[in-house]
Amino acid sequence: MTTLPLPATSAAAAPTGTVGSKPGDTLAVWPATTTEQPHGRLLVGGVPLAEIAESHGTPVYVLDEAEVRERCRTYRTAFPDAEIHYAAKAFLCRALAHWIEEEGLGLDVCSAGELELAVTSGFPPERILLHGNAKSPQDLETALRLRVGRIVIDTPAEIARIAAAVGSGGPQKVMVRVTPGISAGGHRKIRTGSEDQKFGLSIRDGHAQHAITRILDQPQLELTGLHCHLGSQITDVKPYLVAVRRLVGLMARIRDSRGVTLPELDLGGGHGIAYRPGEPALDITTLARKVRAELAESCAAAGLPVPRLIIEPGRAVIGPAGVAVYRILAVKRTPGRTFVAVDGGMSDNPRPALYGVRYAPRIIGRRSPAQAERVTVVGRHCEAGDVLAEDVPLPADTHPGDLLAVPTTGAYHLAMASSYNLVGRPPVVAVLDGRARLLVRRETLEDLKARDVGL
């Protein structure tokens, strides 16, 4: 089953993230515009990656605009009657907010910073949802001042805080994030639909129902629906269908107890993608078909009208559109294994250290006649856990100065980046139709020194 179709202009041979793709298909998880030329030249969006590395330095993150837009359109096609909100936590910059707005998607933000950046880029605030398990006073003040479309309530204390802040200027539309008691996701640290974690209000113990009752008694608040988010890197449709049944059941109980029919149901995101050839990915078309069928069936059984569906993909939109390019600094051979060290690492990609994720890097800019050997790609930082890719094949003649490219790096890389060891964060360069342009400049030592005002 496939996740996303190719853009019409693509030269790639298969859709990005094809489930069951052959491990030998080395471009299976690259942006669909990726092409390979003689002598190892690799182009994304018609631009050679080696040229980007030379002009912008390394590490550098390359973002394929066509891939982002095509994935937005795939969601719009698969869920024609739903609201699609891009989850900004995966990655956000001004240009990306502009692309998302042009493609007709909304935004899901988690902070005043994400919210301000989006709105000051021209994004309509009424198409924004604010999330967060512990929203700061600044988060709520900014959301109310900018008049966001909805605030998702995650804890009972927020109810009175938001109602008081709204005052006579309301009502403010809100949703309630409920915990449906479903464990799903690629790693225990990114499973958010089960009972024992910090997000949401439990259906099982009655906290969700109690919060809903309190919200309905607040004239400053307008409860538009229920929200849940099951986790991340989910590749199976079944958890979403179970969530639909449980949330519709709660909607029916609200109608029976309070006479209120909620018009919206938000299933969050967490749609899994393939990071290496042959890995599974969530089929968006199948997800849409089965979720719509389950929603219609569950609502019919409960005697409820079908609510408006909201979906919040993040990784599945931006992840496969990103490529990270590093320069190799050192190759160290030990009796146990070979280490290939690059000029980035956990400061621009903490995911391997956090979740143990795996990638499929490759040498670019030259074609090697050497046989492949299994190596461990490591970063430059003073941590033994600074490993970017473990036990991956690279040419045996890999040497300092080579360029190493890592696909599927658009999500949760720069969004979680740091300046550890006072190494500045990399720039972001967009590619489209043979042209490259800088979106986010490199963080320099001057930037870092300017923040240090202690002397």
What's 343-382 look like in SS3? CCCCCCCCHHHHHCCCCCCEEECCCCCCCEEEEEEECCCC
Cα–Cα distances in angstroms (integers) from residue 342 to residues 300, 335, 399, 431, in the given order: 57, 21, 11, 23
Residue with tokens 């400049």: 441
Burial of 132 (0-12, 13-18, 19+ CB in 10 A): buried
As a whole number of angstroms, the distance between CA 164 and CA 221 comes to 10
As a whole number of angstroms, the distance between CA 39 and CA 369 comes to 11
Nearest-CA neighbor of 182 among 136, 234, 111? 234
Q: Count of residues for the chain?
A: 455
Axis crossing angle, helix 207-216 with helix 238-258, rounded to the nearest 10: 50
Q: Is 382 considered catalytic here?
A: yes
What are the φ/ψ torsions at residue 18 (nearest 5 degrees)? -65, 125
Q: Mind giving me the DSSP string for 258-306?
A: H-----EEE----B---SSTT-----HHHHHHHHHHHHHHHHHHHT-PP
Give the torsion sign (CA, 261, 263, 267, 268).
negative
Nearest-CA neighbor of 68 among 313, 434, 362? 313
Residue with tokens 């078909």: 289
Residue with tokens 């090697």: 368
Which is the catalytic residue, given 93, 110, 299, 382?
Answer: 382
As a whole number of angstroms, the distance between CA 268 and CA 85 comes to 9
- Enclosing H/E stretch for 223: strand 221-227
Active site residues: 382
